[in-house]
Amino acid sequence: MFDLGASLKEKDLKVILKAVKICGRHYHLTLNEEASQLLCSTALDLFNQGHRTQEELSSLLITKFSGTNSPRINAPTSSSNH
């Protein structure tokens, strides 16, 4: 588990978590602890870089994890389908 930081205001935390949920829904993820940590950590980095709106954060998260970088942490492997 990681600390999102005591310096974040509640409204900022809500913006970050909403962006993470939107990204998770975009990729049809079940946000387990591993996926949540990856997305929250990335969202926090983006927030600290000055991206402060939910729309901006969710868009950047979706773009960042598009294609081969998508956080398919829960996706079954091909061997588990056989």
Q: Pick 67 or 21 by higher pLDDT.
A: 21
Tokens representing residue 2 in the block: 């990681």
pLDDT single digits (tens) 22-46: 999 998 888 888 888 999 999 999 9
Distance CA 51, CA 36 (A): 19
CA proximity to 15, closest of 23, 78, 64: 23
pLDDT for 80 equals: 43
Half-sphere exposure of 71 (CA within 13 A, CB side): 27
19 pLDDT band, cuts 50/70/90, is very high
Greater confidence (19 vs 75) lies with 19
Instruction: Provide the whole-model pTM.
Output: 0.74
